[in-house]
Amino acid sequence: MMWTSGHGEGWALYAERLMDELGFLQDPGDRMGMLDAQRMRAARVVFDIGVHCELPVPDEWAPRLGVEPGTVWTPELGYEFLVQNLEGSEGTIRFEFIRYLGWPGQAPSYKVGERIWLQLRQAALAQGDTLREFHTRALMLGSVGLDTLRRALSDEVMADDEEDDEDD
In a domain, 130, yes or no: yes
- 0.85 surpassed by pTM: no
List pLDDT tens digits, range 87-125.
899 999 999 999 999 999 999 999 999 999 999 999 999
Query: Quick count: other Cβ atoms within 10 Å of Cβ 18?
Result: 16
Q: Of how many residues is the chain composed?
A: 168
Which residues form the domain of 89?
1-153
Strand partners, 56: 72
Q: Which of 59, 166, 48, 150 is nearest to 102 (CA)?
A: 48
Q: Radius of gyration of the chain from Cα atoms?
A: 20
Q: Which of 58, 54, 59, 44 is nearest to 112 (CA)?
A: 44
Quickly state the pLDDT bin for 156 (edges 50, 70, 90). low
How many domains does the chain contain in total? 1
Read off φ and ψ for residue 56, nearest 5 degrees.
-70, 145
66 phi-psi bin (left φ>0, alpha ψ -120 to 50, beta other): left
In a domain, 164, yes or no: no
In a domain, 101, yes or no: yes
In a domain, 168, yes or no: no
